[in-house]
Amino acid sequence: MTASQIRATILEVIGQILPDEDLSKLKGDVRIRDQVEMDSMDFLDIIMELRKRYGIEVPEEDYMKLATLDSAVAYLEPRMAHL
């Protein structure tokens, strides 16, 4: 997957988890939780979706790396390059 495909995938997953939110203006370099109503259970939904869809395990110590859209893409790019 390319970086832009990964970004689109993350946005699609977040859209599924937060169906009431408008994600069209989500900024890539600002914490996602500061832009939309997302709590820790929602965040765990992202982790679960990555596990279910792509078999990707994100260890707890890396959770902070998914804080912004940009950092999430950077973190996932090498892990999803083969997909």
| Residue numbers at the binding site for other proteins (CB under 8 A) | 17-20, 37, 41-42, 44-45, 48, 51-52
Closest contact distance (angstroms) between CB of 34 and other proteins is: 18
In this complex, which beta carbon is closest to other proteins, that of residue 3 or of residue 18? Answer: 18
In this complex, which beta carbon is closest to other proteins, that of residue 8 or of residue 48? Answer: 48
Closest contact distance (angstroms) between CB of 49 and other proteins is: 11
Rounded Cα gap, residues 72 and 47, in angstroms: 11
Closest contact distance (angstroms) between CB of 16 and other proteins is: 8
Torsion of CA 45, 47, 48, 52, to 10 degrees: 140
Structure tokens at 45: 């939904």
Identify whether the C-beta of residue 4 lies closer than 8 Å to the C-beta of residue 73. Answer: no
